[in-house]
Amino acid sequence: MRHNPYKIVKMFEETMADYCGSKYAVSLNSCTNAIFLSCLWVDVKNKDVIIPKQTYLSPPQSIQQAGGNLIFEEIDWKGIYQLKPHPIYDAAKRLTSGMYIPGTFMCLSFHIKKHLKIGKGGLILCDDAEAAKWFKARRYEGRTDGKKYHEDMIDEEGWNMYMTPEQAARGLTLMQNYPEHMPDIPEDPPYRDLTEFELFKNIPVLKK
């Protein structure tokens, strides 16, 4: 039987779920797409989504691409922040054991500047079996996880957002010596105020 290289992706997902304390972990090619898919699943379309006005460029764009009404907030944050009032967290700057918050969708990053320096990649932690199944299909052109292409009946759209076996293998190697507890990554220098960008100049801001 031909070896399936994507088994190592499943091994990496199981390792991350065990470490973080979630039932499921769905790997992706970026934290940006983890946030995007989480917004689609929760269905933020035409709904307010509030995030700090000082964060990276990609989360607000993911929210807008999912149809959400973006609102900025003047708030200090460290490690993670919530896409209020939805159960979605941008956790790109945190990776420590038992970090998962039950009932949420926590989006991790494996950028070279983050804790697990795979170089590129992301992950959604969740405890919802149907959501995990949906994420796995959407990341792979709408295909059913574990089903051969010629046997699958694709009924919903998807994207090319999956993590490669090579990335997963590097992640597994790094996790072998990863500490049980790690502090959040500080942002130095701090993130820019997103309202400085022409793209976001008309986004409303909630004051402290």
Digits of tens for pLDDT over the chain (208 positions)? 456 778 999 999 999 999 999 999 999 999 999 999 999 999 999 999 999 999 999 999 999 999 999 999 999 999 999 999 999 999 999 999 999 999 999 999 999 999 999 999 999 999 999 999 999 999 987 676 666 666 656 667 889 999 999 999 999 999 999 999 999 998 878 899 999 999 999 999 998 7
Tell whether 62 is covered by a domain: yes
Tell whether 162 is covered by a domain: yes
Domain encompassing residue 104: 7-206
Tell whether 104 is covered by a domain: yes
Phi-psi region of 121 (alpha: psi -120 to 50; beta: other; left: phi over 0): left
Using DSSP's 3-state secondary structure scheme, residue 190 falls into coil
Domains: count for the chain: 1
Tell whether 166 is covered by a domain: yes
Reported pTM: 0.93
Tell whether 1 is covered by a domain: no
Tell whether 2 is covered by a domain: no
Q: Nearest CA to 92 among 56, 66, 68, 67?
A: 56
